[in-house]
Protein backbone atom coordinates (compact mmCIF):
# COMPACT_ATOMS: atom_id res chain seq x y z
CA UNK A 1 0.00 0.00 0.00
CA UNK A 2 0.99 3.62 -0.45
CA UNK A 3 1.10 6.25 2.29
CA UNK A 4 0.65 9.95 1.55
CA UNK A 5 -0.03 13.23 3.26
CA UNK A 6 -3.61 12.58 2.23
CA UNK A 7 -3.59 9.48 4.42
CA UNK A 8 -2.97 11.63 7.49
CA UNK A 9 -5.64 14.12 6.47
CA UNK A 10 -7.97 11.25 5.67
CA UNK A 11 -7.63 9.92 9.19
CA UNK A 12 -8.65 13.31 10.50
CA UNK A 13 -11.66 13.41 8.19
CA UNK A 14 -12.73 9.95 9.34
CA UNK A 15 -12.18 10.93 12.96
CA UNK A 16 -14.48 13.90 12.53
CA UNK A 17 -17.23 11.50 11.45
CA UNK A 18 -16.46 9.08 14.27
CA UNK A 19 -16.47 11.82 16.89
CA UNK A 20 -17.84 15.18 15.65
CA UNK A 21 -17.24 16.94 18.97
CA UNK A 22 -13.50 16.35 19.03
CA UNK A 23 -13.16 16.05 15.28
CA UNK A 24 -9.66 15.83 13.89
CA UNK A 25 -7.92 15.61 17.25
CA UNK A 26 -9.15 12.08 17.87
CA UNK A 27 -7.34 9.47 15.84
CA UNK A 28 -5.56 6.39 17.11
CA UNK A 29 -4.02 5.95 13.67
CA UNK A 30 -1.31 8.40 14.70
CA UNK A 31 0.29 5.35 16.33
CA UNK A 32 0.93 4.02 12.83
CA UNK A 33 3.23 6.92 12.05
CA UNK A 34 5.20 6.20 15.21
CA UNK A 35 6.08 2.70 13.97
CA UNK A 36 3.54 0.94 16.20
CA UNK A 37 1.99 -2.18 14.71
CA UNK A 38 -0.37 -1.55 11.81
CA UNK A 39 -3.14 -3.54 13.47
CA UNK A 40 -3.84 -0.42 15.59
CA UNK A 41 -5.08 1.47 12.55
CA UNK A 42 -8.70 0.35 12.77
CA UNK A 43 -9.11 0.90 16.49
CA UNK A 44 -11.69 3.31 17.85
CA UNK A 45 -10.26 6.81 17.66
CA UNK A 46 -9.01 7.50 21.18
CA UNK A 47 -5.58 9.05 20.94
CA UNK A 48 -5.00 12.76 20.51
CA UNK A 49 -3.04 13.41 17.37
CA UNK A 50 0.35 14.96 17.98
CA UNK A 51 1.56 17.97 16.08
CA UNK A 52 3.11 16.82 12.82
CA UNK A 53 5.55 18.40 10.38
CA UNK A 54 5.58 17.69 6.66
CA UNK A 55 7.21 18.90 3.46
CA UNK A 56 5.07 19.45 0.40
CA UNK A 57 5.59 20.94 -3.03
CA UNK A 58 2.87 23.12 -4.50
CA UNK A 59 3.49 22.80 -8.24
CA UNK A 60 3.66 25.79 -10.53
CA UNK A 61 0.94 25.24 -13.11
CA UNK A 62 -0.63 27.12 -15.97
CA UNK A 63 -3.83 28.79 -14.78
CA UNK A 64 -6.02 26.71 -17.06
CA UNK A 65 -4.47 23.48 -15.73
CA UNK A 66 -4.78 24.60 -12.12
CA UNK A 67 -8.42 25.57 -12.71
CA UNK A 68 -9.11 22.24 -14.42
CA UNK A 69 -7.71 20.30 -11.47
CA UNK A 70 -9.55 22.40 -8.91
CA UNK A 71 -12.86 22.23 -10.76
CA UNK A 72 -12.54 18.48 -10.89
CA UNK A 73 -11.50 18.23 -7.25
CA UNK A 74 -14.41 20.37 -6.14
CA UNK A 75 -16.78 17.75 -7.54
CA UNK A 76 -14.82 14.60 -6.76
CA UNK A 77 -12.35 15.24 -3.94
CA UNK A 78 -14.84 15.41 -1.11
CA UNK A 79 -12.28 14.66 1.59
CA UNK A 80 -9.56 17.18 0.80
CA UNK A 81 -10.67 19.89 -1.60
CA UNK A 82 -11.26 22.34 1.23
CA UNK A 83 -8.23 21.20 3.22
CA UNK A 84 -5.25 21.66 0.91
CA UNK A 85 -4.42 22.86 -2.60
CA UNK A 86 -3.01 20.54 -5.29
CA UNK A 87 0.38 19.29 -4.14
CA UNK A 88 3.04 16.61 -4.10
CA UNK A 89 3.98 15.30 -0.65
CA UNK A 90 7.74 14.96 -0.19
CA UNK A 91 8.14 14.26 3.54
CA UNK A 92 5.28 12.59 5.36
CA UNK A 93 4.11 13.29 8.93
CA UNK A 94 7.00 13.56 11.39
CA UNK A 95 6.13 13.64 15.08
CA UNK A 96 9.46 13.22 16.84
CA UNK A 97 11.33 16.36 15.79
CA UNK A 98 11.26 19.88 17.16
CA UNK A 99 10.21 22.56 14.69
CA UNK A 100 13.63 24.22 14.47
CA UNK A 101 15.43 20.91 14.07
CA UNK A 102 13.02 19.77 11.36
CA UNK A 103 13.32 23.00 9.38
CA UNK A 104 17.11 23.06 9.64
CA UNK A 105 17.42 19.46 8.47
CA UNK A 106 15.12 19.98 5.49
CA UNK A 107 16.95 23.16 4.49
CA UNK A 108 20.32 21.40 4.78
CA UNK A 109 19.33 18.46 2.61
CA UNK A 110 17.53 20.64 0.06
CA UNK A 111 20.37 23.15 -0.25
CA UNK A 112 21.71 21.91 -3.59
CA UNK A 113 18.51 20.54 -5.08
CA UNK A 114 17.66 22.03 -8.46
CA UNK A 115 14.19 23.00 -9.55
CA UNK A 116 12.67 20.69 -12.12
CA UNK A 117 9.79 20.42 -14.52
CA UNK A 118 7.25 17.63 -14.84
CA UNK A 119 4.59 16.42 -17.24
CA UNK A 120 1.48 14.52 -16.20
CA UNK A 121 -0.18 12.38 -18.84
CA UNK A 122 -2.06 9.76 -16.86
CA UNK A 123 -4.28 9.08 -13.89
CA UNK A 124 -4.30 5.99 -11.67
CA UNK A 125 -6.35 4.49 -8.84
CA UNK A 126 -5.11 3.68 -5.34
CA UNK A 127 -6.69 1.85 -2.41
CA UNK A 128 -6.62 3.84 0.81
CA UNK A 129 -4.22 2.54 3.45
CA UNK A 130 -6.51 3.35 6.38
CA UNK A 131 -10.11 3.21 5.26
CA UNK A 132 -12.44 1.75 2.65
CA UNK A 133 -11.91 4.70 0.31
CA UNK A 134 -10.34 4.54 -3.13
CA UNK A 135 -8.50 7.48 -4.66
CA UNK A 136 -7.72 8.79 -8.11
CA UNK A 137 -4.33 10.37 -8.68
CA UNK A 138 -2.52 12.33 -11.34
CA UNK A 139 0.94 10.78 -11.62
CA UNK A 140 3.79 12.44 -13.53
CA UNK A 141 5.56 10.73 -16.40
CA UNK A 142 8.39 13.22 -16.73
CA UNK A 143 9.67 14.45 -13.39
CA UNK A 144 8.75 11.25 -11.57
CA UNK A 145 12.37 10.38 -10.83
CA UNK A 146 13.16 13.94 -9.74
CA UNK A 147 10.46 13.78 -7.08
CA UNK A 148 11.59 10.34 -5.92
CA UNK A 149 15.21 11.50 -5.61
CA UNK A 150 14.14 14.65 -3.77
CA UNK A 151 12.08 12.55 -1.37
CA UNK A 152 15.02 10.19 -0.75
CA UNK A 153 17.46 13.07 -0.24
CA UNK A 154 15.34 14.67 2.48
CA UNK A 155 15.16 11.35 4.32
CA UNK A 156 18.87 10.51 4.02
CA UNK A 157 20.13 11.66 7.44
CA UNK A 158 18.23 12.84 10.52
CA UNK A 159 14.86 11.78 9.09
CA UNK A 160 15.98 8.30 8.02
CA UNK A 161 14.21 6.65 10.96
CA UNK A 162 10.96 8.27 9.80
CA UNK A 163 11.14 6.70 6.35
CA UNK A 164 8.75 3.79 5.88
CA UNK A 165 10.67 1.42 3.65
CA UNK A 166 7.76 -1.01 3.71
CA UNK A 167 5.53 1.48 1.87
CA UNK A 168 6.01 2.46 -1.76
CA UNK A 169 6.49 6.13 -2.58
CA UNK A 170 4.53 7.21 -5.65
CA UNK A 171 4.48 10.94 -6.46
CA UNK A 172 0.98 12.17 -7.19
CA UNK A 173 -1.59 14.94 -7.08
CA UNK A 174 -4.85 13.68 -5.60
CA UNK A 175 -7.98 14.56 -7.59
CA UNK A 176 -10.80 12.38 -6.27
CA UNK A 177 -11.97 9.73 -3.85
CA UNK A 178 -14.91 7.42 -3.27
CA UNK A 179 -16.02 4.40 -1.25
CA UNK A 180 -17.15 2.96 -4.57
CA UNK A 181 -14.07 1.57 -6.30
CA UNK A 182 -15.82 1.54 -9.65
CA UNK A 183 -16.77 5.18 -9.35
CA UNK A 184 -13.17 6.01 -8.53
CA UNK A 185 -12.01 3.89 -11.50
CA UNK A 186 -14.41 5.82 -13.72
CA UNK A 187 -12.68 9.04 -12.65
CA UNK A 188 -9.36 7.58 -13.76
CA UNK A 189 -10.85 6.39 -17.04
CA UNK A 190 -12.38 9.81 -17.65
CA UNK A 191 -8.92 11.39 -17.57
CA UNK A 192 -7.12 8.60 -19.41
CA UNK A 193 -9.53 8.42 -22.35
CA UNK A 194 -8.03 11.68 -23.60
CA UNK A 195 -4.44 12.57 -24.43
CA UNK A 196 -4.25 15.23 -21.74
CA UNK A 197 -1.04 16.92 -20.72
CA UNK A 198 -0.43 18.93 -17.57
CA UNK A 199 3.01 20.51 -17.53
CA UNK A 200 4.45 22.32 -14.56
CA UNK A 201 7.45 22.84 -12.35
CA UNK A 202 8.56 22.39 -8.77
CA UNK A 203 10.59 25.44 -7.78
CA UNK A 204 10.21 25.48 -4.02
CA UNK A 205 9.35 23.33 -1.02
CA UNK A 206 6.90 24.27 1.69
CA UNK A 207 7.28 23.08 5.27
CA UNK A 208 3.93 22.79 7.01
CA UNK A 209 2.71 22.07 10.51
CA UNK A 210 -0.51 20.21 11.25
CA UNK A 211 -1.97 21.20 14.60
CA UNK A 212 -5.42 22.03 15.95
CA UNK A 213 -7.11 20.83 12.78
CA UNK A 214 -5.17 23.25 10.59
CA UNK A 215 -2.30 23.16 8.13
CA UNK A 216 0.05 26.10 8.66
CA UNK A 217 2.94 27.02 6.39
CA UNK A 218 5.98 27.67 8.57
CA UNK A 219 8.84 27.90 6.06
CA UNK A 220 9.60 27.75 2.36
CA UNK A 221 12.74 26.75 0.49
CA UNK A 222 13.48 28.00 -3.01
CA UNK A 223 15.20 25.35 -5.11
CA UNK A 224 18.25 26.31 -7.15
Distance between CA 22 and CA 190 in Å, rounded?
A: 37
> pTM score, two decimals?
0.79
* pLDDT tens for each residue of 21-46: 444 433 333 333 333 333 333 333 33
Give the mean model confidence (pLDDT) for residues 196-216: 92
Q: Which residues make beta-bridge pairs with 94?
A: 53
* pLDDT tens for each residue of 131-165: 899 999 999 999 999 999 999 999 999 999 999 99
Q: How many CA atoms lie within 13 A of 210 on its CB side?
A: 25
Report the CATH number of the 51-222 domain.
3.90.1140.10
Nearest alpha-carbon partner for 86 in 118, 116, 57: 57
Higher pLDDT pick, 19 / 145: 145
b/e per residue 130-147 (b: at least 16 CB within 10 A):
bbebbbbbbbbeebbebb
What lies within 8 Å, CB to CB, of 161 at 6+ separation is none
Question: Residue 128, Cβ neighbours under 10 Å: how many?
Answer: 21
* 144-154 and 99-110 helices, crossing angle to 10°: 130
Distance between CA 28 and CA 44 in Å, rounded?
A: 7
Strand, coil or helix: what is 4? coil
Amino acid sequence: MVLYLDDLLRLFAIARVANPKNGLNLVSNSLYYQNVSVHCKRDIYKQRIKMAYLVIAYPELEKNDFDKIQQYRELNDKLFFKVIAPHFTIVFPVFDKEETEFIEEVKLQAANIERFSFKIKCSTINKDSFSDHYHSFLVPDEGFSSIVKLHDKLYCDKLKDNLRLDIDFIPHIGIGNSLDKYLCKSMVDEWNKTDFLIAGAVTKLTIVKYENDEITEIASINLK
